Amino acid sequence: MSESSRPPLLFHSNAPWSPTGYGQQCGIFTPRLNKHYEVGISSFYGLEGARLRWDGMVVYPGLGGDFGNDSLLPAADAHLGGFRGGLTMTLMDVWVLDPSIIRRLNAVCWVPVDHEPAPPRVIEFFRNSGAIPMAMSRFGEKMLQEFDPLYVPHGIDTEAYRPIPRREARDVTKIPQDKFVVGMVAANKGNPSRKCFAEAFQAFKLLRDRHEDAVLYLHTEMTGKYDGVRLPMLMEALGIPHDSVFFADQNRILHNPVGHDTMAHVYSSLDVLLSPSAGEGFGIPVLEANACGVPAIVTDFSAQPEVLQAGWRVDYRANWTVQESWQATPDVQDIFDALNQAYNAEDRMRDQLAQKAREGALAYDADRVMDEHMLPALAEAERRFAEREPVELKAVA
């Protein structure tokens, strides 16, 4: 254990430079946590083979892509000076973790829940691991009420994500000035897609049939190489004109992801963000778009309606998944109606939506989340662990 006066904390997630939602949150919150704790980062994705230092913190590598089940305990022993020498905080889906490993730690799990009810494997993990859940949404808090969860929402840098005049933003992004731009910022992983590309594309086709100046900007991988959807094939099947769809630079998003400032220009180029997901543990792109003054369209399910600050919520039908619980399939006609309302919105309504979006997003500024939610929650976790009586192991005769 370090001789620092700050108590140690090990943060287990994607590496802070990773172009993933978890990686971004790790990169946002670990420097802030490091002002109060001596933070080490256990990276199960984004670093392998040797530790290094990032922003003054040690990043411990993963081994073999096993979500940290093979590397978490060694990292905890090295950083905490013993498995229970401080807090271990995970940010990931918990059902991939081995509860017998987590049980050896004072573990707080910042966990997404995107099904209703919470999937059985999530419930069983918390029953068997002794970890304290930290819900990232009020929806997740409700789904995990059996375990008296803490609540800490995700956060964003609202100085980086800020409204930029549309003409200026489109000059940077090269998106045409004279178009109505619908944007999707979503990972193309899994088929059927949790991001509901098929339903989103069907609704966009209906919009395009009415309004030839409507275009679709896709900030995602297009070929489905990560077991996702072959988006050009979906476009062809629906008869969506190729000149009505713009893809982000494919090499850049895969190998040199754009930074927050550039993404603020991307969001500010949009007229509306389309994000009708089947389920979200949180939904960072919606909040980022809102912080830039851009309304969004979301499915009225899981964390999505609470994260949305301004825009439209669409109806859905329940869908049973391989996680043995329910998610949502958004209604195509409802998505189209929302898109059409966004298209036909008068300037006064657009201004009101932009103001509401920005003001609402400020509540999720990372510094505010840190002070109002994260630090109090971790203090409560430390109190709970301190009150737990040690387990007495009796020898077998």
Q: What b/e sequence results for 46-64 when a residue is b if at least 16 CB atoms lie within 10 Å of its CB, and e otherwise? A: bbeeebeebeebbbbbbbe
The CATH 3.40.50.2000 domain(s) of the chain lie at: 166-364
> pTM for this one?
0.95
d(CA 82, CA 76) in angstroms, rounded, equals 7
Please give the structure tokens belonging to residue 257: 């992801």
The answer for residues whose C-beta is within 8 angstroms of residue 386's C-beta and 6 or more apart is none
d(CA 116, CA 259) in angstroms, rounded, equals 34
d(CA 184, CA 112) in angstroms, rounded, equals 21
State the Cα torsion 49-64-72-32 to the nearest 10°. Answer: 60
Please give the structure tokens belonging to residue 63: 């081994």
Give domain 166-364's CATH architecture: 3-Layer(aba) Sandwich (3.40)
Q: Is 118 buried (19+), middle (13-18) or exposed (0-12) by CB count in 10 A?
A: buried
Give domain 8-155+365-387's CATH architecture: 3-Layer(aba) Sandwich (3.40)
The CATH 3.40.50.11930 domain(s) of the chain lie at: 8-155+365-387
d(CA 115, CA 302) in angstroms, rounded, equals 7
pLDDT string in tens for the chain (397-residue length): 445 689 999 999 999 999 899 999 999 999 999 999 999 999 999 999 899 999 999 999 998 789 999 999 999 999 999 999 999 999 999 999 999 999 999 999 999 999 999 999 999 999 999 999 999 999 999 999 999 999 999 999 999 999 999 999 999 999 999 999 999 999 999 999 999 999 999 999 999 999 999 999 999 999 999 999 999 999 999 999 999 999 999 999 888 888 999 999 999 999 999 999 999 999 999 999 999 999 999 999 999 999 999 999 999 999 999 999 999 999 999 999 999 999 999 999 999 999 999 999 999 999 999 999 999 999 999 999 999 966 554 554 4
Residue 283: how many other CB atoms lie within 10 Å = 28
